[in-house]
Amino acid sequence: MRVAALVLAAGRGERLGASVPKAFLPLAGRPLVVRAIEALAARPEVERIVPVLPAADLARFGALGVVGGGRLAPPVAGGAERQDSMRAGLAALPDGVDLVAVHDAARPLVRPEDVGRVIAAAARTGAALLAVPVRDTLKRARAGRVTETLPRADCWAAQTPQVFRLALLREALAKAEAEGFVATDDAQLVERLGAPVEIVEGDPGNLKITWPEDVALAEAIWRQR
């Protein structure tokens, strides 16, 4: 199976509120987007990595001089929503790709072995994602009132990479777009087709850098490794 990856880095990092775009924020001295690319490039089965950046930052990315073992594609410009950036990345994939791993640049700490496990699962089933069991009990609420308590043993926090047969993800994206549906993760698009999506238990350390305080936590995890 031929495997490619998208590294989505075209967000604005509004919650982080840093002076640089989030993808360029350093983690232990290297930009998040570079760390995320390196984690994917550590897997020999990933033959192409397409970075998706804000249109205004394509040159800045080029100036980083990321090599990616010769598998790094030229960066492409993302869109207003993450789903738009994903579509732009899919359009840049070479012919003949069977599986695509969609990964957030905001998760620079993913372990290469977990990338390998989720790719292997998707190769078997068509769709798989890394996820961790939730620690807290989840409540559904409306206007400050609990309407439902979700059984904790059934709840998982979705991470990336999420890996799909390329044809399946394209079909799922087309259906979502036709229906005006915007998902918070890619697997949800495939779930809406009724296709099975496998959970691969990942690592709580694969956190998504979202808020300023996440940076120190990510640095601590990096140092610990």
Contact letters for ligand CTP, residues 11-50 (x by CB under 6 A): xxxxxx-----xx---------------------------
Stretch that binds ligand CTP, among 57-65, 67-75, 102-110, 145-153 (CB under 6 A): 102-110
Q: According to the binding rule CB under 5 A, does residue 11 interact with Mg ion?
A: yes
d(Cα 102, Cα 57) in Å, to the nearest integer? 20
Position of minimal CB gap to ligand CTP: 11
125 binds, among Mg ion, ligand CTP, none (CB under 5 to 8 A by kind): none
- Which CB, 85 or 206, lies closer to ligand CTP? 85
Which residue in 32, 40, 28, 41 sits closest to 9, CA to CA? 32
d(Cα 12, Cα 53) in Å, to the nearest integer? 10
Q: According to the binding rule CB under 6 A, does residue 210 interact with ligand CTP?
A: yes
Contact partners, residue 40, CB within 8 Å, separation at least 6:
5, 7, 46, 49, 101, 103, 112, 115, 161
Assess contact for 110 and 161: CB atoms under 8 A: yes
Binding-site ranges for Mg ion (CB under 5 A): 11
